[in-house]
Structure 1
Amino acid sequence: MDELYHSPNLVAVYDTLNDEREDFDFYLSQLLAPPAKVADLGCGTGTFAIELAHRGYQVVGIEPATQMLASARVKGGDAVCWIEGTVADVPETERFDYIIMTGHAFQCLLRDTDVSNLFSEVGRRLVPGGAFLFETRNPAARAWDRWTPEHAGAPRPLPDGRLVRVVHEVERVEGELVTFLESYELGNPAERSHSRSTLRFMAAERVIELAKSRGLTVEDVWGTWAGDPFDPTHSPEIIFRLISASDGTEGIS
């Protein structure tokens, strides 16, 4: 697992580096009113799960990284039911109106089998007609071309007064897989931590094919957080709303 998700030093700066909320606002706009039951899959430090709970939703936060979940528990207490692991660790007796996966976490699934397994596990835990909402970056937009030191943003202030600056450097591109190094300058360039990641940039057609093979129906696909329709050649994002089978069963295995 990437260093960012289990190093206490880096988990402490995660919220500062991920404080934009256009994705949260978009997903909130897709939900029925509380008290619908929602799973935040890959909940990280719990920011979105806690907000959902405070709005009156019944929320389960699911996160495999121990340090991230520890931070979430401190922030959210018992307002959320926290589960360390993946959706496969949630009892199949639990059924959700919505399962949401934010932060481009879907791109950490590097093999077709990983994606298919996710869709199967999600489908078994949605109520009939329940929705799975998630996003992945559109490969046609080639976001990785901008992951260079020249595109690094200005240092950002942390709650403890230090500054953090993030620098990206792509190491290799192999088909759909992009491996890159993130360097975190904490206080000064000499104080650096690193996290290496590999992400998969899947075409929308392949995601849809795998989803349908596991009994999930594609209801909507958007290309921006403003809700614009997905354009395969220009949209920066591919945002999916998948619906479970009406009878709650899984599709072809």
Structure 2
Amino acid sequence: MWHGEYRHPRLVEVYDIEHLWGWEDDFFMRVLAERTAPRVLDMGCGTGRLAIAMAGAGHEVTAVDPAGAALDAARRKEGAAGVRWLQGSFEDLPGGTFDAAFMTGHVAEHIVTDEDWSGALHRMRGALVTDGRLVLDSRDPAGLPWRGWAPDDTRRDIVLADGSVVEAWSEVASTEKDVVSVVHHYRFDDGLELTSSAAHRFRDEVQLRDSLRVAGFRVDQIYGGWGREPPGLSGDGELIVIAIAEPRMLP
């Protein structure tokens, strides 16, 4: 199943157990608080952890995701009523609406082709007001993150809320240039076995800067870790981008 952690209800439950509040969420909330941003977009919101926190901090939040099962889980959470949930993708974004937009959880990596990536960035620019901020994270390819996606490195037991245990592991299916395909395996106590597949496109700092510029953004900062370290100087192995929506050129 493609991106099963967001599309299959049982894998959504596993995803939520594994992805609790972390340093990255603290980082994004601090960035959001640095400038006035009444209207916020959370693009690729998943099960809504960050969107609900941003709404709880007083922002008007629109959270968008193509996966219905993930949104169903998000809507059941405490505080979810304060968020506008929308099932859709980049094509469904309203224009000139948001003061800040977030693509977290390495959403950017799952936009594989250059054409789709360019289209996504242009639509994010269209959704932002001039001087609005786009914040996104992607793993730094210089750190070769896929090296850690082998069964021996990823095998783990996940304890669900009812006490049952899911055995999980991952493996790289293929590597082509800067695209890595991975398969995640899940074996439940009741004998159910599910797999989830994904492809990751790893863009370096130059590629990110160039593509953002073409889409109408000015890069303000790129960090390599959640402590705001420069790229390459953190064990986090991230490229965390804060970009500013430039004024649109008149025809």
CA contact under 8 A between 1:154 and 1:165: conserved in structure 2? yes
1:84-103 mapped onto 2 (5 Å cutoff): 84-92=87-95, 95-103=97-105
**Alpha-carbon distance in 1 for matches of 2:250, 2:105:** 27
Q: CA deviation at 1:165?
A: 3.2
| SS at 2:195 equivalent | strand
Structure 1 stretches lacking a partner, 5+ long: none
Any idea what the Cα deviations from partners look like across 1:38-73, whole Å, max 9, x if unmatched? 111101111111111111111111011011111112
Any idea what the Cα deviations from partners look like across 1:121-141, whole Å, max 9, x if unmatched? 111111221110011111111
Q: CA deviation at 1:251?
A: 9.6
Q: Which residue of 1 aligns with 2:242?
A: 241
| SS at 1:155 equivalent | strand
CA contact under 8 A between 2:158 and 2:168: conserved in structure 1? no
Of residues 170, 173, 176 in structure 1, which corresponds to 2:172? 170
Q: Which residue of 2 aligns with 1:192?
A: 193
1:39-54 mapped onto 2 (5 Å cutoff): 39-54=41-56
Q: Which residue of 1 aligns with 2:157?
A: 155
Q: Which residue of 2 aligns with 1:79?
A: 82
Residue type at the aligned position of 2:27: F
Normalised to the residue count of structure 1, the TM-score between the two structures is 0.91
Q: Number of aligned pairs? A: 248
What do you get for the CA RMSD once the two structures are aligned?
A: 2.2
Q: Which residue of 1 aligns with 2:204?
A: 203
Q: Mean Cα displacement is larger for which, 51-60 or 72-81?
A: 72-81
Of residues 60, 67, 70 in structure 2, which corresponds to 1:68? 70
CA contact under 8 A between 1:183 and 1:195: conserved in structure 2? yes
**Alpha-carbon distance in 1 for matches of 2:167, 2:240:** 28
Q: Which residue of 1 aligns with 2:141?
A: 139
Question: Does residue 116 of structure 2 align to residue 114 of structure 1?
Answer: yes
| SS at 1:30 equivalent | helix
Q: CA deviation at 1:250?
A: 6.1
CA contact under 8 A between 2:178 and 2:201: conserved in structure 1? yes
CA contact under 8 A between 2:37 and 2:100: conserved in structure 1? no
Any idea what the Cα deviations from partners look like across 1:177-210, whole Å, max 9, x if unmatched? 101110112237x542111111111111111111
**Alpha-carbon distance in 2 for matches of 1:232, 1:116:** 28
**Alpha-carbon distance in 1 for matches of 2:243, 2:175:** 29
**Alpha-carbon distance in 2 for matches of 1:18, 1:154:** 14
CA contact under 8 A between 2:149 and 2:172: conserved in structure 1? yes
